[in-house]
Every structure is written in structure tokens, then in C-alpha cells.
Structure 1
Amino acid sequence: MTDRTGAHRVTGAAHEAEPLFDDLPPNIDTDVFSVARLYDFLLGGKHNFAPDREFGRRLLAIEPNGRMILQQNRLWLARAMRVLLAAGVRQFLDLGSGIPTQHYVHELAHAVDPGAKVVYVDNDPPAVSHSNYILRDSPNAGAAHADMAESERVLAHPTVTSLIDFGQPVAITALAAWHFVEDKQDPKGVLAEYRRVLAPGSYLALTHATIDGATGDLVRDVQSQYQSVMKNPSPRTREQIADFFEGFDILDPGIVNLPAWRPDKPQDAENAQDVWFYGALGRLAA
């Protein structure tokens, strides 16, 4: 299958990094699949194990552009972080973070301001342990074990309360994660609960799988694969994702496929519709 975007295609074992095994926390079971480590594998990282790689290869058999799509997700994050940091934001609460590898929020923030505060939230205890292992030398970053859909629990977590001052602007980021919050969990209502504690000048940054467009059937095929290992993700339409930004002013260019969001070069946005994730950044309305 050819690369529909014509750029940044990365597939095949030649791009797979050797995993890291030294001094891992004791509660990490290397024989159990983890979606957090799956993303690390697809991004070419070293914090993954055999079950993660096996499932990742199954996904790549369905969508050979899977690596490229997640890379586009990280490129989107880098562009969004430039906007947030330029706006003076120095606090970041990342929901559904997985394992923060491959130039993630804390690395991008601390490259500009080592004093920036970053908290990662995930409901997988081994992923949180693995994250805190990675962050062990970062006093201004930490990982909290909590379900991102349980806002009260997240906001009361000691790691969150010790690092984040909600009296100052905070960027809430949920990258390739919020589609794992099911409709019955009221994803819009949960985001509204987070919004209510935010100070003026705060932001919501969201990337989300979509079934809009010509790739809808392909997304459903990928979605069906997840049923064998975890709860089914819920890709959504642009209109549904727009509802999540209630109370926020969505910055230009709105809710668009990832490569079309403020590309560094015009050619970077070519065939953006083939990347079946939307990205959007919203500022808390005055």
C-alpha cells in the first residue's frame, strides 16, 4: 500500500528501535499489552515490549501509515506548544498521556523554561510507574495514576495539587486520547468540569480520531482491532469534537486534520485529509 500523503512515511522493522530493559519499575509486566507502549513502538521508541510490537504490526498491516499519523500527532503537538509557550503558559496537565517519550510535553516545555510544570495523567499503573521512572530527574514534572474521565480524582491527586496552580493559566492537553472516553462517560461534561477550575488565559489542546472523510471505513477497521485488547475507541465527527470546546474560543484555523493546522510549510499540509485525526486549540473564553 502506498503512502497516501506522499511524505513522512515510516514503516517496517528497519525503523524499530531496540527496547530498553534496564532498571524498570517492578510492576511493569513485559508480557501484557499496553496502549501506552504501543504508541511508543509506533513512534520508533524504546519503551515497548513484544506484545506491544505484535499488536502494532497488526495495526500497520491494516493502516501502513500508522507510524506517520502518530508522527503527525507529535508534530502537531510541537506547533501547538510553540503557541502555548509564546502565550506565557507554563503549566501543563496532559490527560491520557501514556508514556512521555519521543519529544513530549515536558521536553518541549523545559526546552523553553526549565521551571515549567507538567503533570501526566494515565489510568494504567505500569505506564505511570514507567513515566515516573523516565521523569525521575525532572523535579518539575510527574505522572499521576488516575482515569482522565474522573476529573475530581485527577484534580485532587497529590501530584497534580503539588505541581499545578489552578489560579494561574494551565494548558490541558489530550492528544490521541479523548476518543478512549466513551459517550456513556459524558466526555463533553467531563471536559466542562476541568474547564470550571481553569484560570483566564488557560487552553484546551485536543487531537482526536475521526470517521469523517474517505478514510472512515479504514478507521473502523482499526477500531475493530482494539476490541481484542482493550475498550473500543470512539472516533468522532468534527461537530462532535467542536462540542468539547464549549466555553473555549477555538483558535485559527479551527478543527482541521493535523497537517493542516498551522503547518510550518504549505506543502506540509498536502493531502492532510488522509491523516484521520483532527487537532484544535482553544483559549478559555473571557
Structure 2
Amino acid sequence: MTDPTGAHAGNDVDAIFDDLPSNIDTDVFSVARLYDFLLGGKHNFAPDRDFGRRLLAIEPNGRVILQQNRYFLARAMKVMLADGVRQFLDLGSGIPTQNYVHELAHTVDPAAKIVYIDSDPAAVSHSNYILKGDPNSGAVLGDMVDAERVLGDPTVKSLIDFDQPVGLTALAAWHFVGDGDNPAGVLQTYRRMLVPGSYLALTHATIDGATGDLVRNVQSQYQSVMKNPSPRTRQEIAAFFEGFKILEPGIVNLPAWRPEKPEDAEGAENIWFYGVLGKLIAA
């Protein structure tokens, strides 16, 4: 059954996910499942849908923004894959549906390795169901802020060879890392494991521009269900890329990042997420 927005309206997750952990609290909000709802998925629960509707009442472009986030991913993956990158570590992955990292990579090379990291047990369960039977992909339950634990995870160590270039991706996730968790320092911990030729692909909510007040209203809504929502300025986001060469066109609103057609970038100023891709030039 679907609601008028096209999202799954049942209180339980789709029956095909019969391996959902028994300790999942379906009454607790999850960003991963919120994004699934906004993208038209069915792996979400009532609190995720309720919050999503409140969000859309403030920002009707919410779904468009997340669609643009996926379009950016496809274009950034094209650059990394063309440069020979064949392994990817995705931080704050959510539920990897609808042409996500593993599908994009395996279209080019079925042997490409992908590991998804998320702190939501249900999202990780869903991810491992989706990836079942794929020896080159896996999902790990972990806090992306705890970089040392993520990097030491057995699945990460078995699939990712850090002696070779890695595509590190953090899409619509890093604005949930508050300043108190030292977001730049955490990314530097990951960077120290990477060899030159690796990449960092990031999308991030911003308070720059004419949409700043709107973004602050959205931030206030998030504060009702979680801590540390932190949209940032271009300058603050640039600080995350120490050691990386930021590729053209720089830190820009998502539709303006290497659009396939000039008209695809129209209205970019209304999409209050930046997209940026950096290439590691020094270990």
C-alpha cells in the first residue's frame, strides 16, 4: 500500500526483509530511512514519513535536492572510474538503492569493491540484503565519525586495499557531523589511509546564498529529532579537503557540478547542497 506521496505506507518493513534485526525500533526516526522515503522508496517507517512530510511542508524541493544528490554521485563516479579507481568506501550510506555506488561501479567493472558504512542497523540489514550474493560489496554497521574503528573493520579490510586508490564518498551525510565531533579531523584520519590518486566526493547542506534562512528552518526541524545538524559555508567545506586538489568547477550547488547539458544547471541556486570532488595529491 502506498500513501499519496508514493512511499510505502505500511508500519512494517517490506516482507522480503525477513532478516531485519529483532531489536530495530520502528518508532524511532532514522535519517537513512527519511532519505529512502524522500527518494520514493519503501524501506521506511511512520516516524520517517511523518518527519519527511513536515520537512516537505517547509522545503517542497526536498525530493528534488536528494535526486540532484544522486545525479551528482553518478557524474562524480564517472570521473573516478575513468581515472581507474575500482574500490569505494561510502560513509553514511543509508540504503543503497536506485543506482547507488555499487551499481554505478559494477556497470564499468563487476570486480570493483564497495563497502557501505552506516550507523542504522535497519539500513545495514537492508543493504546486506540488497548486496546478498555479491562477493565484491558489503555493508558495515558503524559510526562514520569513528574512523579508526571503520578502517579496522574486517569487511573493510577484506574488500578495500588501501595500497591502491580509493574513492571515499560522503553524500548528504557530513552535515550531520557536528563541530564538536571534529569533522575535518575525522576526514583527515581517513585521508591518512589513502594513497595519491584517491578521491573524496562530498555533498553537503549549505547556509550560503538566498536560501540560508530556509536552510536554518530545516535545521531547526532536524534538531527536534536528532543532534548536530550542521549546514556549512563554502569556506568551512573547503577545509575538509586538506591534501586534496579540488577539481573544477570547485564547490558549487549540485546541478552546477559538471552538468551534462547547460540547461541542467538552471535553478542551481535553489538547491542548497554543495557538491565537490577532490583528488588526493599527497599522502
Report the TM-score range of the alignment, normalised by the length of the smaller protein.
over 0.9
TM-score, normalised by the number of residues in structure 1: 0.93
Query: Quick one: which of 195, 198, 201 aligns to 1:199?
Result: 195
**Two-structure CA RMSD over aligned residues (Å):** 1.4
Per-residue CA distance 1:138-184 (angstroms, 9 max, x = gap):
21111111111111111001110010000000010000001111111
Provide the residue aligned with 1:8 in structure 2. none
Provide the residue aligned with 1:20 in structure 2. 14
Provide the residue aligned with 2:96 in structure 1. 100
Provide the residue aligned with 2:255 in structure 1. 259
Provide the residue aligned with 1:225 in structure 2. 221
Runs of 5+ unmatched residues, structure 2: none
Q: Which moved more, 1:151-160 or 1:121-130?
A: 121-130
- Tell me the distance in 1 between the aligned counterparts of 2:278 and 2:32: 25
Residue 221 of structure 1 and its aligned partner are, at CA, apart by 0.7
Residue 57 of structure 1 and its aligned partner are, at CA, apart by 0.6
- Tell me the distance in 2 between the aligned counterparts of 1:237 and 1:192: 19
Q: Which moved more, 1:130-139 or 1:33-42?
A: 130-139
Residue 24 of structure 1 and its aligned partner are, at CA, apart by 4.2
Amino acid paired to 1:26: P
1:115 aligns with 2:118: no
Amino acid paired to 1:64: P
Provide the residue aligned with 2:50 in structure 1. 54
Any conservation in 2 of the 1:215–1:276 contact (CA below 8 Å)?
Answer: yes
Alignment of structure 1 residues 98-247 onto 2, 5 Å: 98-247=94-243
Any conservation in 1 of the 2:184–2:239 contact (CA below 8 Å)?
Answer: yes
Identity of aligned residues (%): 75
Any conservation in 2 of the 1:40–1:102 contact (CA below 8 Å)?
Answer: no
SS in 1 for 2:241: coil
Provide the residue aligned with 1:7 in structure 2. none
TM-score, normalised by the number of residues in structure 2: 0.94
Give the number of equivalent residue pairs: 275
SS in 2 for 1:88: coil
Provide the residue aligned with 1:4 in structure 2. none
Alignment of structure 1 residues 35-114 onto 2, 5 Å: 35-114=31-110
Runs of 5+ unmatched residues, structure 1: 1-11
Amino acid paired to 1:184: G
Residue 30 of structure 1 and its aligned partner are, at CA, apart by 2.9
Per-residue CA distance 1:184-238 (angstroms, 9 max, x = gap):
1111111111111101210000000000001011111111111221113100000
Any conservation in 1 of the 2:177–2:228 contact (CA below 8 Å)?
Answer: no
Residue 122 of structure 1 and its aligned partner are, at CA, apart by 1.1
- Tell me the distance in 1 between the aligned counterparts of 2:190 and 2:104: 23
Any conservation in 2 of the 1:119–1:143 contact (CA below 8 Å)?
Answer: yes
- Tell me the distance in 2 between the aligned counterparts of 1:183 and 1:84: 29
Any conservation in 1 of the 2:8–2:44 contact (CA below 8 Å)?
Answer: no
SS in 2 for 1:198: coil
Amino acid paired to 2:15: F
